[in-house]
Amino acid sequence: MKSVDTDEIKVLVARVREHMDQGKLSTLGWVIRHPGQARSVVHWLRRLPRTTIAPSADPAGDVLRRRFGGIGLLGTGRHAQAALVLPPTAEQYWRGPKRKVFRNKMAAARRGGMGWRPLAREETAEVLQVLCRQLGWDRDPRSAMEDVLEVPLESTMASAAFSADGRALSVCLAVASGDVAQIRWSMSAERGPARWAAFAALLEAARARDVTTILVGPMIGRASEDEYFQRRLGFGPSNIVLAPEVSPAPAAGTGLLLVRQLVGARR
């Protein structure tokens, strides 16, 4: 199968997303006016690999089922989400030319004296607070994050990268349940390898919890820097399907909402 991240599809999906920002009727209008281009997007979506996830029956699992439930307009699952399916061992993940950029970033982090690790429940709020102060936030980080996470901050799968003197440089927060985790928020106080190091620590946390699939959100229509970062980590666009034993959330019931699912629901 040819590469799924063709320039043509990127342009088409970006156009659809522009109309999504203007409302569902505008999106439907674009599809009606450009049926050939819409068919190209549909064909691309149908050819994406399916990734099956199995959240547990807990509050975090409820969040993930709401986010990824439903079969989508094409019956293929939640469309074009950024998915990383971890191989059985860490060694298999890190080796090979596809992880070369990531390995180089981690080598730079080590040379700079940086440290990284999963965060314990009791320290997550404090580390987040330190980072947010560096970012100049004037709002309460806990309240802001729990609105995004939809679960208590202490129940997240969290990781961070630190400077040589112990200052928090980057934090990554994910909602995890069963065999799947979704990154809901990540931020760095400065440019450089800290972002990569925080994700390396999240990988450690994922393996400790037997998480085999990490998701981010729609992989299309994103900033080029984010897309580059995701691809170097091993994420690829995939249609997400809930495991059969888990009852999926009801799919959207109107045609206009289904059009929105064509390019993946927004966060």
Give the pLDDT confidence of 239-259 residue by residue, as tens digits: 888 987 544 444 444 344 334
Question: What is the C-alpha separation between 4 and 144, in angstroms, rounded?
Answer: 35
Question: What is the C-alpha separation between 136 and 182, in angstroms, rounded?
Answer: 26
Question: What is the C-alpha separation between 177 and 207, in angstroms, rounded?
Answer: 13
Q: Say if CB 194 and CB 170 are below 8 A apart.
A: yes
- Taking the CA atoms of 60, 216, 31 and 248 in sequence, report the sign of the dihedral they define: negative
Q: What is the CA radius of gyration of the chain?
A: 19
Give Cβ neighbours of residue 117 (< 8 Å, ≥ 6 apart).
159, 160, 201, 204
- Taking the CA atoms of 100, 103, 109 and 111 in sequence, report the sign of the dihedral they define: negative
pTM, whole model, 2 decimals? Answer: 0.79
Q: Which residues pair with 116 in a beta bridge?
A: 161
Containing H/E element for 66?
A: helix 59-68
Question: What is the C-alpha separation between 27 and 46, in angstroms, rounded?
Answer: 20
Best-predicted range by mean pLDDT (3-12, 15-24, 27-36, 226-235): 226-235
Q: Which residues pair with 210 in a beta bridge?
A: none
User: Exposed, middle or buried, 77 (CB in 10 Å: 0-12/13-18/19+)?
Assistant: buried
> What pLDDT digit, counting tens, does each position of 95-150 carry?
999 999 999 999 999 999 999 999 999 999 999 999 998 888 877 888 888 888 99
Tokens 């034993």 found at: 245
140: its two tokens: 């309460």
Over residues 43-68, mean pLDDT: 89
